[in-house]
Amino acid sequence: MLFLFLFIFTLTLLVCFIMRRERKFEEELEDWETRFGKNRLKFKDLYYATEGFKEKDILGSGGFGSVYKGVMPKTKKEIAVKRFVSEVVTIGRMSHRNLVPLMGYCRRRDELLLVYDYMPNGSLDKYLHNNPDATLNWKQRIKVIKGVASALLYLHEEWEQVVIHRDIKASNVLLDAEHNGRLGDFGLARLCRHGSDLQTTRVAGTWGYLAPDHLRTGRATAATDIFSFGVLILEVACGRRPIQIQKGRGERVLLVDWVFGFWIEGNILDAKDPNLGTECDRREVEMILKLGLLCSHSNPQARPTMRQVLNYLRGDALFPDLSPLDMRQSEMTLRIHHGPSEIGMFTCGSSMVDSVLSSGR
């Protein structure tokens, strides 16, 4: 009798354990997933790949989720898993060599787990700020800048919808084995049809990369992405963070203002990262610094499009011979013709871009 009781008790515990284990790995399937089902992965496989999402395997984390390193049990492929709410709808069908490739996803309860190809060289900011023993030479930096520019052109103009990334920064640029720059983290991204405006009034992004027109109006546009990209260009060329505390005075200095100050004084090349040494093309460095300032112009209508930017980077178009006065005059022109209250309104195909780019020729 005692044996029978112990057998039933043990069997009950085993059934409860199995049921609880099944609930642990329980997943959900929603209507939208029928379009992306081929990429769906099992939560159980991801759980074991990351050893239960242990803290020791965290590659990075932020306000929108943590990223874990893992190894798929069967294929032994290295992966990066992001525990997130929902970005697969945005990036599930996008494919570009300079975007972090989405391998698959897993839907479970109230969260969505995204699985990316593992980027062995980590994020760009590690090389610019966090690892003095590992830095990028000038050719590698140009390669990264061109890669991100190519990705943004795809998002803004070449995909079936306009994708406004809204959080372009060094930590969201990952480097693959060949140090190609790949733009990732679409947690703040928004979509709109070509020829229409994004309907949002909530400021989102990272301080130092936020365009003044975005802060003023709350509207995210291709131009606000381009501003962030301009700051990123300067960050890559100068090796400085977008916002730094001035030594001795405790004041915050914006990288854009810091570089522009060198340009006014006639020695813009002094703004380049001292770690680069002399093994770089001075004319190319100067062009990159001025392009970064033009992209991060306070007047959104004066910023070039990503297609123009990529043409300059590839040498398909000559960068205009701009001066600091040209940049200031373009801002004053906007104030005279439109008034201060309308500064920050971005219109595609604006003639202001052409007037600024041609003023120095």
Binding residues for ATP: 82
Catalytic residue chosen out of the listed positions 57, 167, 213, 273 = 167
DSSP string for residues in 146-204? HHHHHHHHIIIIISSSEEE-----GGGEEE-TT--EEE---TT-EEE-TTS--------
Three-state secondary structure call for residue 55: helix
Binding-site residues, please? 82
273 has catalytic annotation: no
CB 107 within 8 A of CB 219: no
List C-alpha distances in Å: 355 to 290, 333, 338, 350: 17, 10, 15, 9
DSSP string for residues in 220-271? --HHHHHHHHHHHHHHHHH---SEEEPTTT--EEEHHHHHHHHHHTT-GGGG
CB 245 within 8 A of CB 251: yes
* Length in residues, the chain: 361
CA distance 252 to 17: 56
CA distance 156 to 331: 24
Q: What is the Cα 323 distance to its own chain's centre?
A: 29
* Element (DSSP H or E) covering residue 71: strand 65-71
CB 279 within 8 A of CB 297: no
CB 48 within 8 A of CB 21: no
Q: Identity (one letter) of the amino acid at 312?
A: Y
The CB density around residue 1, as the number of other CB atoms within 10 Å, is 5
Q: Which pairing describes strands 78-84 and 65-71: parallel, antiparallel, or unpaired? A: antiparallel
Active site residues: 167
